[in-house]
Structures are given as C-alpha cells and as structure tokens.
Amino acid sequence: MLGQGKQATAYLQRGLEARQSTPPRTRQQDPPPSQVTATLRRALKRGKVPLLGDAAGAQVPRSIVEAAFERADRADELLQLHLRRSRLLEEAGDLDGAAYALLNLAHLRRARGRLEEARERYARAAQLFAATGCRVGEALVGLSQARLRAQVGQGEQAIAAAQAAGAVARELGTRWVEAQAFLAEAEGELTRRDLDAAQARFAQAARLVSELGNVPQQAEQALFAAELSLARQDPAEAQAALERFAASPESAKSLTHVLRADLAQAGLALARDDAADRRAAEERLSESLSEAEERGLVELGWRLAW
C-alpha cells in the first residue's frame, strides 16, 4: 500500500540482514491449555482481553480464543483446532458453526500471507453460509474476500465484493460490518490508485465508526489514513494519522497492525528524505519483522511492503 513499495522492501531486506547479525530472542515455551484458560479468565475479570479485528483487520470483534492463542504463540495449533472443529461441526450438521470455524481459519491463513489457502477457505465458508441462509455470515465472508482481493492488487473485484457485503450489512442493520465494507472499498480504490474515490469511501467508514465509538476500528482506520496520505504525498497528515494510531490503546493493536504502522513510518521517512528518520525506521522494521517471523507472519510483511 505504500507509494514507495520497492524502497520499503529494501528497508525490509536491510532489517532482515541486521537481525541476522544479532542473537535470536528466546522463544517462550507454550503454556499448557489450563494455564491459557486461567490467564484468560483473569484477563476477562480485569476487562483487558483484546477484542480486535482478526489479525489482518477483517473482523471485529475477533474471538477471545484467537486472542489468547496469538498471545501464547500457538498459531499453528489454532489453525489445526479450527480445521478439526469445522469438520466435526459439518459432520454433525451444524453448518453455521462449521462456516464460522472456516471463516476464522481463513482469517488466520490470510494474516500469515497464505492467500490462496485463505481464498479456498473463504469460498467454502460462503457455500455453507448460503446453504443455511445466514446473511451475517455471507456479509462477513464477502467483506473478507474484498480485503483479500485488495491485498493482491485486484481493486475492481475488491470494490465489487465490498459493495455487496455492505449492502447486506445495511439490510441487516449491522453497522460495524457496513463500516468495514466502506473501508474495504477504500482499500480497493487505493489499490487501483483512484485516490479521490478512496478518500470518499474512507470518509464514510470514518463517520460510521465515529458514531459507533469502536476503538479497534478507529485504530485500524488511522493506519489506512496514514497509507492513503502517503499515496497523496501528504507526509504531515500521514504523521498525524500514525500518531493517532500510536495513541490508541494497546488492546486495539494487533501484531499485523503494528507491522503496517512500521511500514508506513518507513514510507514517511522516505517521503521526508531524512537520514535519521531512515535509520529509526530500519530499526523499527527489524524489531517488528523479528516478532512477525516468530509468529509466522513474515510472509505478510513482504506482501504489505509491495
């Protein structure tokens, strides 16, 4: 999404090279399931469990279980859990439950940069939702497919899918999904470089989210505002948007959101042509990519850079 994609990729490469010269961080052992459950219960009592969108920002709120497993560095185990769950539910005749499990599985695949696998899971989830007449599920799948299309540079298809999802959301009165659909449209417009249309769709999304007071969506929108401002060659507004993201509660920031912010900061450093900014951006990218690699998200980082 950055205007200077190849240069941002060069930053990523230098960040990886710099990290290879430093000792790897010690990875914590996975806690047993009972410990995860106990920790989750304590977090619930304190009201500190991060109810975010999925790791790539497609669904708000994401499941508490997903948040717990992500914190525990158990993404692979979670993928298998969702897959087994979807199969068992489908065999038992609970097609809605199976579809939602597949939707979560597809989100995780997309968050890790495995886009073809995600596309297949979304398509199967859409079939199951259609079979049961679950309109909310259909809207969520359509929204996710739109954002996946934008991620691979298919702007026209992304816009069409987002508009269809938004129409269903409006019909059902599901306003947070409608807001995400407007944001997905904006992403599609940015992908095809229609910056005025992207700004118009983004304004609609921002208005809805402001009315809802949805903090995670506000944080994600600040990121998109930074990316759009960079594309419009407005570094001052990009900086202001990144500052809004930085001021968001930590519970409103997923790992991939932080990676996007680091990439946007690198784009801002390029726009300013400031040597100190460049060095700081490289350091942040190195740290962020190290964390992303540990959690299996490094493929996404490379895709976002382009």
Of 239, 236, 232, 162, nearest in space to 196 by CA: 232
Q: What is the DSSP string of 110-121?
A: HHTT-HHHHHHH
Give the alpha-carbon dihedral of 62, 78, 301, 191, to 10 degrees. -50
Confidence (pLDDT) at 241? 95
Digitized pLDDT (tens) for each residue of the chain, 306 residues in all:
444 444 444 544 454 444 344 443 333 333 333 433 444 344 444 444 333 333 333 333 344 444 444 544 566 677 777 788 788 888 888 888 888 888 888 877 777 777 888 899 999 999 999 998 989 889 999 998 998 888 888 999 999 999 999 999 999 988 888 999 999 999 999 999 999 999 999 999 999 999 988 888 888 899 999 999 988 989 999 999 999 999 988 777 776 777 788 878 877 877 777 777 777 777 776 776 666 666 555 445 444 443
Confidence (pLDDT) at 298? 47
The answer to whether 222 and 234 have CB atoms below 8 angstroms apart is: no
Confidence (pLDDT) at 60? 34
Q: How far apart are CA 56 and CA 263, in angstroms?
A: 15
Confidence (pLDDT) at 179? 92
Confidence (pLDDT) at 296? 53
Of 175, 237, 230, nearest in space to 207 by CA: 175
Confidence (pLDDT) at 89? 82
Confidence (pLDDT) at 127? 93
Confidence (pLDDT) at 69? 42
Domain boundaries, the chain: 1-20+214-306
Q: Is the pTM here over 0.75, yes or no?
A: no
Confidence (pLDDT) at 94? 83
Q: Which stretches within 112-213 are classed as H helix?
A: 115-132, 135-151, 155-172, 175-191, 195-212
Sequence-ordered list of residues with C-beta below 8 angstroms from that of 224, at least 6 positions apart, any chain: 183, 186, 187, 202
Confidence (pLDDT) at 38? 45
